[in-house]
Amino acid sequence: KLKLNVTNIPQDGQYTFEATGRIVNVRVACIPSRFGETYTLRLLDPKKGLVPLETLGFPKAIHEKLAELVKLPNGLILVTGPTGSGKTTTLYSLLITIVGKERNIITLEDPIEYELPGIVQSQVDPDHDYDFARGLRSILRHDPNVVLVGEIRDMETAQTAIDASLTGHLVLSTLHTNNAIEAIPRFLSMGVSPYTFAPSLRAILAQRLVRTLTDECKADGAQCDPADHNTYNGVKAVPELLIATKEIRELILMNEPASAIEKVAKEQGFMDMRDWGKIFVQNKITNASEVMRVTM
C-alpha cells in the first residue's frame, strides 16, 4: 500500500475496481520528482490478460510449436523481452492450455497479476525472506508437474530452476534480454553450469509488441502517417522461437558465443523477429517503422 503521508521515496501499491462484471487490478508506481510525485498506473484486465494461446496472434508455426512444448513432461522454457512486451500474458496462455489435464501447476510471481482457476499461485514477499529462490525450493516440495517462476534474477534461482527441470518438472520463466539468442549467455553469466543448463533447455521465446494497423490503413493505396496514433488500433507480438536442438545444446556446452549459436540456428530454420516482422508488414498487420522500432 502507498503511504499517503510519504512523498520523498519511491512507492508501489495496487487497488481494484469492478468493470462490466469483472475485477480489474491496477498496479501503481510512484517516484518523487522536481514538481511533486509522478505516478504510473498499469491496468491488469483479465479480459485482455487471460486469453487462449491461439488468440495471441502468433504465426501458426510458432503457435503450434508452443502448444507442443507446454505438453512436455520436463525441461526449461524461457520467455524473454523487455518490460511490457507481453511475457506474462504469453506464459498465462501457455498454462491455460494445460490446466485441468491432471497436472499439478504452481506459480511463483511478483506480484500475482491475474487469478488462474485450477492453478496454485504463490507471491514472493521479500520483507519476510520469501524470495524467488526460497519460494521455488518450497514449491518443489509440493510435487508439481509444472512450475512458473515469474522471473529468474540470480544464480541461486537459475540453478534451482535448472535442477527442477532435470528432475521431472516442466519449468517456465522469464528473462530480460533483447532476443532469444542473447538469453543463453545472459543465463550463463549468472554462474550456472553449462553442463546442467544445456540438457535442461527446451526452447526460448522472445517477443516484442508492435502496434497493428487499422482497417483503413490496411487498404491498398492508403497513405497513413506512421507517427499518427490514429494509424493503429491494437498490438500484436512479433516473436522468435529458438528450439534447443542437439546441435544448439552442444554449442552451449562448449561455451560458444551467441554469434555461433545464431549461425547454427539460422541453418536449422530459425527466424528472428526481423524475419517475422517482414511477414507482418507483407500481410499488412503493421508497418515497417513499427518493426524497426522494436528490432533495432
Write the CB contacts of 47 (distance below 8 Å, at least 6 apart in sequence): 22
Query: What gap in Å lies between CA 293 and CA 211, rounded to an integer?
Result: 10
**H/E stretch holding 149:** strand 146-149
- CA 49 from centre of chain: 12
Write the CB contacts of 27 (distance below 8 Å, at least 6 apart in sequence): 12, 13, 14, 41, 42, 44, 111
Q: How far are the Cα atoms of 78, 238, 263, 281 from residue 274, in angstroms, in the given order? A: 20, 8, 15, 10
* Neighbouring C-beta atoms of residue 217, cutoff 10 Å: 20
**H/E stretch holding 96:** helix 87-98
Residue appearing with cell numbers 507482418:
280
DSSP 230: G
Low-confidence ranges of the chain (pLDDT < 50): none
Q: How far are the Cα atoms of 212, 233, 280 from residue 218, in angstroms, in the given order? A: 10, 11, 12
Query: What gap in Å lies between CA 78 and CA 197, rounded to an integer?
Result: 12
> What ranges do the domains of the chain cover?
11-44, 47-295
Helices (H) and strands (E) in the chain, counts: 12, 10
First to last CA, the chain: 38
At 246 the pLDDT is 98
CATH 3.40.50.300 fits 47-295, yes or no: yes
pTM for the model stands at 0.92
At 152 the pLDDT is 95
At 68 the pLDDT is 97
